[in-house]
Structure 1
Amino acid sequence: MSSSASKPYPPQRLAWFIWGLGAAFYLIAFFHRVAPGVITDELMFDFNLGAAGLGSLSAFYFYTYVAMQVPTGVLADRFGPRLLLGFGALMAALGAILFALAPNFAIAATGRALIGASVAVAFVSMLKISAHWMDAKRFALASGIALSIGMLGAIAAGVPLRISVDGIGWRNTMLIIGGATLVISALIFYFVRTDPSSYGYQGYAVDDGQTTPKQGMLSGIIHVLQHRNALLLVFIPAGIVGPLLTFSGLWGVPFLTTHYGMTDKEAAFYTSLTLVAWALGGPLFGWLTDRLQRRKSVYLAGITMFLLAWIVLIQVPALPLVVLALLLFIIGLGSGAMVISFAFGKESVPAHLAGTSSGLINMGVMLGPMSLQPAVGWLLEKRWTGERIDGSPVYDLASYQFAFNAMLIWTVIATILLALTRETYGRQKHVD
């Protein structure tokens, strides 16, 4: 009998602590993801931007984030998450500082791009930690809790960010965030290890009884995409996250201030409702899918809630504020179903390709906001009447409805693709 079999599994307190350091970095990632939505006026003024320019500036985060997903998945499979998380946090701190000090659009975009590339390692590395430090039955739940922690960062980029910006300015606020990220990097380097064996415990990593094939990056990607579910799941979550972050992370605040007469703080509160509900929906759907051992049907229930609420919010003008708040909450809650993508994808490919699968799916997640944020800005400018308030462009309701229809179209496509997947019943695929 091997000596590892006699070792105990790591105590839950230690497992969650190791995982939590990665989650702290993920919180920072989500903060940067949605922060531009609360400082739209400042960014448009400082860098002399219109809607399309602002959408492009925000989207630089997503361009590099998406580009890094596949390398991150492959590197996580080969080298583990410690170096990825530690160096990722270090570079994200430098990106935040660069963004804060940027004198022009080009430098600001470079800072956003560096942040996006750096934080891209966070979620996939957390999934890798989960696979080694936690029982497989907690995998979807851990993914849901990760989303909730990320949402804390997004919520911090709502009203709290607005208060900080009003008090000390957006540039000083970003400098403080950069400093906090440096501290997280140091903690990750000191404490995080890929497997519990480094602490003298037995790990949970799946051993399928076969020697893990040595594959290059391209061959690993091709292998994963040959599995039907894995291919479809690259595009499905984008139909949820894209509309959600396009609204909550960029265009929701100007939409609500213009058409519901809200102040910036009030609008930030309402957009944060979707993020709070998303934080609740992630663990809820993670727990439900683990309990029922059903991926497809639970996922379909969540995306249907999401789509129907969006249709009402976009197409019906002048909603009562209570109804508006309820719809935003339903949108956020339903969006929590997207966490199922990672358990669903992990089970749909052989175990040794789990990191590559997660990277591809996370790349797909960000395809939504990466394309929709600038697309909505471009569509708004196409319908712009030339009206400005305090130097910033203002767009009428018809323009927003026209532009937001792009979000609805992607969600409809995602729902159809989800209907074409095959249920895994919570069972891991071991061989092709």
Structure 2
Amino acid sequence: MNSNDQEVRTSPWGDPLKYRWLIFGVTGFVYFLAWLHRVAPTVVARDLAVAFNADATMLGVIASAYYYLYSAVQPPVGLLADTLGPKKVVTLFTAVAAVGCVIFASATDAWMATIGRALIGAGVGGVFVPAIKLFSRWFRPDEFAGLTGLLLTVGCMGSLTGALPLTYLVVLTGWRASFMAVGGVTLLMALLSWLILRDRPTDKGWAPVPGTFSVDSQGAGEAPDGIGPLKRLGMVFQNRNFWMVCGATFFSGGASLSFQGLWAVPFLTDVYGMSRVKAGGMLMLIPLGFGVAAPTVGFLSDRLGLNRKMVLVVALTLASAIWGIFLVSGGKPPLLLIPFLYFSMGMLSGGSLPLYMTITKELFPPWLTGTAVGLMNPAAFLATALYQPFTGWLLDMVGPTSSGVYPLQAYRNVFITFMISCLLSLVSVSILSQERKPVKETA
């Protein structure tokens, strides 16, 4: 009896249909940490301002460093997932994120904190695309959109934890101790990734899961001979619809992630005079809405064959309308309306993202999945990296009041930017075609 047979007999996970959920759990928890870090700056914004004597522009720089590096690593992560395999990529990059947490928690000035945030962004940027690659080998195509939505929901739980629970932890132990603890958990997940993840069922001695790309009769799961990294990039970049998806995610993602990740709490404390804990509780409504919509729309898309383009058109129209509500109310909607607006922001964003991912996957053959998603995924995060310091600059242009808070006019300028962004995203989706065209082997 070989070791794989012994493992199958003794392990409660000795079945690929069970073990694949263990793989989902590990990648999902690392993705949970990625989302926690996205919203963390809005919780500790005041602490960072005091610790480093930072204005809104500098806070935007610190927060955006995560997104710059997260965006930058996506293309190489996609290529590495397609070549070296997802297991090695997730393990290595998660370890980098743990190092970033320690540096951030130990920072003595704003620039050291920025370096820590950058390493965190680079590290957690190595999980989503490899997870998509793993899912394509362990799950059937008709499970993909729903599974992607479920992964995004797990990520949203990270945002929820990064809102109120992290706020309480920071209040109790301080922001430095809190992030040091997160670094320890992240290092543990790097170890578990190495021990548990497997690139394909055959790595455990099992036959491929029926219906997955790894058993495609045409060999669609593997790249043709002679297709190197440069050819892969060329095949993706020449697709016009790929650029339309990137444009849509760039503008809508930049608006939603910038607000949720940096200004959602300061807006409530500055304009409505809320306590930080209460504002953190309100922030939880955004990822909660996201978590409700992401799996729901994903599973409905899989089961009912929804027209993904039309769903996105409706979602982006409503997202534009939300920012319009902020503007027509002078930047300060009635307080009773804020929970509805925050929850709706999350729902519209959560309902859209699985569709962007699925459309991108369907534009290309399976062996280009990692590369294509890896090139598309940075769009929203690159936008956020640009929007956060830019919106901080917009706030500083008006300037804080004598009490150190930013006035309503400063936030109105930010909301105008976000509404224009959603409208540009709507234009990109409107001219998108979902039809897959044969890829050409460019040099």
TM-score tier by shorter-chain length is: over 0.9
Does 2:214 correspond to 1:202?
A: no
Equivalent position SS for 1:311: helix
Tell me which of 219, 234, 238 is aligned to 2:250. Answer: 238
Deviations 1:398-423 (A, max 9, x none): 11101221111111111100011113
Which deviates the most, 199-208 or 83-92?
Answer: 199-208
Equivalent position SS for 1:38: helix
Match of 1:259 in 2: 271
Deviations 1:42-79 (A, max 9, x none): 00110110010000010001111111011111111112
Which deviates the most, 290-299 or 241-250?
Answer: 290-299
1:20-39 equivalence runs, <5 A: 20-39=25-44
Does 2:333 correspond to 1:328?
A: no
Q: Percent identity?
A: 32
Match of 2:303 in 1: 291
Equivalent position SS for 1:221: helix
Give the structure-1-normalised TM-score: 0.92
Match of 2:135 in 1: 130
Counterpart AA for 1:150: G
Equivalent position SS for 1:235: helix
Equivalent position SS for 1:394: coil
1:166-245 equivalence runs, <5 A: 166-199=171-204, 200-203=206-209, 204-205=212-213, 207=216, 208-209=218-219, 212-245=224-257
Tell me which of 272, 290, 307 is aligned to 2:320. Answer: 307
Q: CA shift at 1:238, angstroms?
A: 2.4
Match of 1:97 in 2: 102
Match of 1:363 in 2: 378
Tell me which of 361, 371, 384 is aligned to 1:346. Answer: 361
Decide whether the 8 Å contact of 1:306 with 1:332 is kept in 2: no
Counterpart AA for 2:290: W
Partners of 2:232 and 2:365 in 1: CA distance: 11
Q: CA shift at 1:315, angstroms?
A: 3.8
Structure 2 stretches of 5 or more lacking a match?
A: 1-13
Partners of 1:212 and 1:152 in 2: CA distance: 39
Q: CA shift at 1:183, angstroms?
A: 1.0
Q: CA shift at 1:284, angstroms?
A: 1.4
Deviations 1:333-368 (A, max 9, x none): 111112211110111122221111101111112122
Match of 1:88 in 2: 93
Decide whether the 8 Å contact of 1:351 with 1:430 is kept in 2: no
Q: CA shift at 1:430, angstroms?
A: 6.3
Partners of 1:12 and 1:133 in 2: CA distance: 8
The size of the alignment, in residue pairs, is: 417
Partners of 1:66 and 1:10 in 2: CA distance: 36
Counterpart AA for 1:420: I
Q: CA RMSD in A?
A: 1.8
Partners of 2:287 and 2:343 in 1: CA distance: 8
Equivalent position SS for 1:234: helix
Does 2:418 correspond to 1:407?
A: yes
Give the structure-2-normalised TM-score: 0.90
Tell me which of 381, 397, 417 is aligned to 2:428. Answer: 417
Decide whether the 8 Å contact of 2:323 with 2:415 is kept in 1: no
Partners of 1:109 and 1:259 in 2: CA distance: 27
The 3 A distance-change label for structure 1 pair 133 and 312 is same
Tell me which of 107, 110, 119 is aligned to 2:112. Answer: 107
Which deviates the most, 97-106 or 291-300?
Answer: 291-300
Tell me which of 117, 123, 126 is aligned to 1:121. Answer: 126
Match of 2:333 in 1: 319
Match of 1:6 in 2: none
Partners of 1:28 and 1:297 in 2: CA distance: 32
Does 2:45 correspond to 1:40?
A: yes
Which deviates the most, 131-140 or 234-243?
Answer: 234-243
Partners of 1:272 and 1:315 in 2: CA distance: 25
Partners of 1:282 and 1:38 in 2: CA distance: 24
Counterpart AA for 2:425: A
Partners of 1:409 and 1:289 in 2: CA distance: 28
Partners of 1:64 and 1:332 in 2: CA distance: 24
1:12-27 equivalence runs, <5 A: 12-27=17-32
Partners of 1:265 and 1:341 in 2: CA distance: 34
Counterpart AA for 1:251: W
Counterpart AA for 1:69: Q
Equivalent position SS for 2:248: coil
Counterpart AA for 1:93: A
Partners of 2:224 and 2:413 in 1: CA distance: 50
Decide whether the 8 Å contact of 2:31 with 2:127 is kept in 1: yes
Match of 1:5 in 2: none
Equivalent position SS for 1:121: coil
